[in-house]
Amino acid sequence: MTEASRRRLTLVATALGSSLAFIDATVVVIALPTIRQDLGFGLAGQQWVFLVYSLALAALYLPAGAVGDRLGRRETFAAGVVGFALASALAGAAPSGAMLIVARALQGVAGAFLTTNSLALLREVYGKESGRAVGLWTSLTGVATVAAPPLGGIIVEWISWRWIFFVNLPLAVVTLVAALCGRCRQQESQRVGRLDLPGAGLTALAFAMLTYGVVEGGRHGFGHTWWALVLAAAALAAFVVVERHVPEPMLPFDLFRRRNFAFANLETLLVYGGLAGLFFFFPIYLQFLGFSPLAVGVVNAPVSVVMILLAARFGRLADRLGPRLLLTVGPLLVGCGMLCFLLVDDRASFWRAGVPGLALFSLGLSMLVAPITSTALSSAPDRFSGIASGVNQTVSRTGNLLAVAVIGLVVQVVFDHHAGGRHGVPLARGQTDPHLRAGSIDAFHVSVAIAAGLALAGAAVGALGISNADARETPEPVGMPAT
């Protein structure tokens, strides 16, 4: 087998592996109304099924990148694939909501090692062609994700929601075979030193307490969860102190002195927060309006189609012209597309306003994903490519966590205001009470406004912060902090 063929196998493996994580998140949201009815929980339970996965990812992205840098990115990636498959089997067999949440957390643990080392492995294999490779990776991931929403809708509607997890098993087998058969020459990794376990533990504690404090505070009142928010702040402060004093920190803060690295990650935090807010509530809202799970899956498919057609082209354009323009126009279109959903309050209005909104959203998203990831990764020296990938993934998941938790809190407050003491679940499928229904519609509109605001703020960061000149420079080595 030629070297080029092995590189292509590596590209396929990383795309399929990442698809395992991306598809699962998408299809789970489509299935949440059905899972809620089957296992019996409310909006907070739906949030936890989604958030515990993102929580595990966010908490472990940095140590997962460090493990890949030290022990080998291909080996770590393969281990993540195996772990994700086992956790998926547990999720599919979960007899209760609590067990499902545990399984989702385990999926997140494995997914952190899988996705972080997917991008780092891709950069290691393709080197200076990583911008184009990330675009191809995005397109190939789209090939899988374009079929996932309709397939997920069919599975949920006609078979069982449990099979949305079981379908991960054959995908994992193909991914593992491609990764192992695609071994090829890679840049030498510096596999030295010890893992920063205190730093990893403190980040996990900070993310866990922050998520718990916001989600359960919205459900039971912040008087019951204030301690979790205080503990989250203390853990974050302790993390900064630890990282400045350990010999080999999990997060070298000198990386943030690089303009594009800092601003690309800030834009990632804002835009991916907005994306998460939309991706979580939009499929639930469409089912609230009366669309079936299959119809919701079909509605989401065109987003992936546009990504397949355009993401690699925009990745090459960013390599040639610089990322600033695309990282400004992309999130601007995403935000404008989201604002169109403010006009959607029934099935008929979805076709009038929602479809044009999806078109704008899809175009903007295809402009954004490859350049923002490539900019964040290429701004760091090769030695820290795993850590840079881990930082970028952590930032995106942190945006996911904060946006879904905070927007969920706002949705609950707006809904309760309309409910006037009536018992109900926001955006519940089959809701007929006019007060509850009006509350659900207004709550969704507020969630869309917040998500759009985050995307537009990301566009401002791209316009003012990203430098094309810095993107063309070869990163100099990062100095390690003094002990």
Summarize pLDDT for 40-83 with one digit per residue, the tens. Answer: 777 778 888 888 887 887 777 767 777 777 777 788 888 999 99
Residue 334: the pLDDT is: 95
d(CA 175, CA 20): 9
Does residue 236 sit in the same domain as residue 276? Answer: no
Does residue 242 sit in the same domain as residue 298? Answer: no
First to last CA, the chain: 47
Does residue 274 sit in the same domain as residue 208? Answer: no
Of 411, 7, 479, the closest CA to residue 256 belongs to 479
Q: Residues 31-39: contacts with CB within 8 Å, 24+ apart? A: 31/152, 31/156, 31/161, 31/164, 31/293, 32/283, 32/284, 33/284, 33/287, 33/288, 33/293, 33/428, 33/429, 34/156, 34/161, 34/293, 35/100, 35/161, 36/425, 37/429, 38/161, 39/96, 39/97, 39/100
Alpha-carbon separation of residue 434 from 36, 191, 415, 429, 448 (angstroms): 22, 62, 12, 14, 21
Could you tell me the pTM of the whole model? 0.77
Residue 145: the pLDDT is: 66
Check: CB of residue 478 under 8 Å from CB of residue 380.
yes
Residue 365: the pLDDT is: 92
Q: What is the Cβ-side half-sphere exposure of residue 145, based on CA atoms within 13 angstroms?
A: 26
Handedness of CA 191, 195, 196, 202 (dihedral sign): positive
Judge whether residue 188 has pLDDT over 50.
no
The CATH number for 73's domain is 1.20.1250.20
Q: Which residue has the tokens 């292509």?
A: 8
Residue 160, domain member (yes or no): yes
Residue 110: the pLDDT is: 92
How many separate domains does the chain show?
2
- Domain boundaries, position 230: 197-246
Judge whether residue 482 has pLDDT over 50.
no
The rounded mean pLDDT for the chain is 82
Does residue 242 sit in the same domain as residue 256? Answer: no
Residue 480, domain member (yes or no): no
Residue 51, domain member (yes or no): yes
Does residue 76 sit in the same domain as residue 40? Answer: yes
Of 64, 96, 66, the closest CA to residue 83 belongs to 64
Q: What is the dihedral of CA 313, 316, 322, 323, to 10 degrees?
A: 50
Top mean-pLDDT range of 63-77, 144-158, 288-302: 288-302
The stretch 290-304 carries a mean pLDDT of 84
Q: What is the DSSP letter of 475?
A: P
The stretch 367-374 carries a mean pLDDT of 85
The stretch 184-206 carries a mean pLDDT of 62
Residue 406, domain member (yes or no): yes
Residue 188, domain member (yes or no): no
Does residue 205 sit in the same domain as residue 301? Answer: no
Q: Which helix (H) or strand (E) holds 147?
A: helix 130-154
pLDDT tier, 478 (very low <50, low <70, confident <90, very high otherwise): very low
Top mean-pLDDT range of 7-11, 201-205, 254-258, 410-414: 410-414
Residue 215: the pLDDT is: 75
Handedness of CA 457, 455, 374, 73 (dihedral sign): positive
Does residue 161 sit in the same domain as residue 262? Answer: yes
The stretch 210-239 carries a mean pLDDT of 81
Phi, psi of 41 (to 5 degrees): -145, 170
Judge whether residue 20 has pLDDT over 50.
yes
pLDDT tier, 152 (very low <50, low <70, confident <90, very high otherwise): confident
Residue 481, domain member (yes or no): no
Residue 478, domain member (yes or no): no
Does residue 131 sit in the same domain as residue 63? Answer: yes
Which ranges of 221-325 does DSSP label H, i.e. alpha helix? 226-243, 259-288, 293-321
Please say which residue of 246, 270, 286 terminates a domain: 246
pLDDT tier, 1 (very low <50, low <70, confident <90, very high otherwise): low
Does residue 237 sit in the same domain as residue 352? Answer: no
Residue 189, domain member (yes or no): no
Residue 165: CB partners within 8 Å, gap ≥ 6? Answer: 24, 88, 89, 91, 92, 103
d(CA 101, CA 84): 14
Alpha-carbon separation of residue 347 from 198, 429, 432, 435, 442 (angstroms): 51, 14, 15, 19, 15
Residue 317: the pLDDT is: 85
Does residue 232 sit in the same domain as residue 348? Answer: no
Least confident of 121-125, 208-212, 297-301, 341-345: 121-125
Does residue 256 sit in the same domain as residue 111? Answer: yes
Does residue 242 sit in the same domain as residue 277? Answer: no
How does pLDDT run across 395-407, given as a tens digit for each residue?
887 888 888 888 9
How buried is residue 160: exposed, middle or buried, by Cβ count under 10 Å (0-12/13-18/19+)?
middle
Q: At what angle do helices 385-419 and 355-378 cross, to 10 degrees?
A: 150
How does pLDDT run across 315-342, given as a tens digit for each residue?
888 878 888 899 999 999 999 999 999 9
How does pLDDT run across 100-127, given as a tens digit for each residue?
999 999 998 998 888 878 877 877 777 6
d(CA 441, CA 454): 20
